[in-house]
Amino acid sequence: MRYAKNILGTIGNTPLVKLNKLTSDLPCLVLAKYETFNPGNSVKDRMALQMIEDAEAAGLLKPGGTIVEATSGNTGMGLALAATVKGYRLICVISDKQSVEKIDILKAMGSEVHVCPTDVEPSDPRSYYATAKRLAKETPNAWYVNQYDNPSNTKAHYLSTGPEIWEQTDGKVTHFVVGVGTGGTISGVGKFLKEKNPDIKVWGVDTYGSVFKKYHETGVFDENEIYPYITEGIGEDILPENVDFDIIDGFVKVTDKDAAMYTRRLAREEAMFAGNSAGAAIKGLLQLKEHFTKDDVVVVLFHDHGSRYVGKMFNDDWMREKGFLD
């Protein structure tokens, strides 16, 4: 008999899938690391489990304890899987721009959910960062995950996602393109791949309204870069410790409209029902066309599943309301 001893044993070992139609103008092979195959339907299952196991080992998370996190949904889902299997209580703090589906899913998985306003400074006590910190302080036997600065986030990708991509491409990968939020995915995968072959190029996909690209290019944290945006999962108004700017060769910015349109195109042209940051990632990759040549093997990572966006990017009324469809 071959079975996982619980659902956590099914995390990782996701497929690598060739893109065909959307990338037909590119000279190279483009492969998607398709993370929706994880049990929580996103790449975040990997780092959630790693963060919990490292906190247990360090004595920060004790039996019967409460896990508190500020999460846009996917990390919460990953934490919920591990919390349920391991017997912890979970409190997720989420911002009000996230899709209703993400909030409902967290509740379905047994998490308590606190919703906070998006358009306030990170230092504002109403922000979701500040609320998560406060709840962690007020709750007895609680551990604040802090995926932005928790090194186990990057470590998970260094130990699993990176080696998988290396092995699945027989070491032939030449470029890695991925959306950046906490930075865990790009930093962990990027570090692993560059240790294997320093010539591999690592590109981050950023969004308009986020600080990453400008900071990477100038070293200046420019507050003028910060404004509300629609794309989910990528871009930040802070510099998370998990973004290792030194291993990133460059950032490319994708508009909200393009990210939404390419999320839809992935579903209709490649039959890949992936999330909004996958749309941003593939559009970012297409914008980098001039960097690729015939023998290149470009890996792009798709973070999460389309079902979380059926009321948004996959909904024509919502798309019209945002001015993305005529």
Distance between CA 153 and CA 257 in Å, rounded?
29
Question: Cα–Cα distances in Å, from 323 out to 184, 210, 279, 307?
Answer: 32, 21, 17, 22
Question: Cβ of residue 185: shortest distance to ligand PMP, in angstroms?
Answer: 3
Residues labelled catalytic? 44
* DSSP state at residue 294: T
Binding site for ligand PMP (CB under 6 A): 72, 74, 179-186, 232-234, 275, 277, 303-304
How buried is 115 (Cβ within 10 angstroms: 0-12 exposed, 13-18 middle, 19+ buried)? middle
Q: Which is nearer to ligand PMP, 27 or 228 (CB)?
A: 228
Distance between CA 113 and CA 50 in Å, rounded?
22
Q: Which is nearer to ligand PMP, 162 or 184 (CB)?
A: 184
Question: Cβ of residue 74: shortest distance to ligand PMP, in angstroms?
Answer: 4
Q: Is 157 in a helix, a strand, or coil?
A: helix
Residue number of the CB closest to ligand PMP reads 233
Question: Cβ of residue 235: shortest distance to ligand PMP, in angstroms?
Answer: 9
Q: Which is nearer to ligand PMP, 244 or 296 (CB)?
A: 244
Decide if 298 contacts 28 (C-beta within 8 A). yes
Decide if 325 contacts 316 (C-beta within 8 A). yes
Question: Cβ of residue 311: shortest distance to ligand PMP, in angstroms?
Answer: 15
Q: Which is nearer to ligand PMP, 131 or 210 (CB)?
A: 210
Decide if 267 contacts 285 (C-beta within 8 A). no
Which residues on neighbouring strands pair with residue 143, listed in sequence order? 67
Question: Cα–Cα distances in Å, from 249 out to 124, 204, 244, 252?
Answer: 33, 8, 11, 10
Closest CA to 176 of 285, 283, 16, 23: 285
Q: Which is nearer to ligand PMP, 91 or 234 (CB)?
A: 234
Question: Cβ of residue 255: shortest distance to ligand PMP, in angstroms?
Answer: 16
Q: At a CB cut-off of 8 Å and minimum separation 6, what does 57 contact?
A: none
Q: Which is nearer to ligand PMP, 95 or 182 (CB)?
A: 182
Question: Cβ of residue 286: shortest distance to ligand PMP, in angstroms?
Answer: 18
H or E segment to which residue 77 belongs = helix 74-86
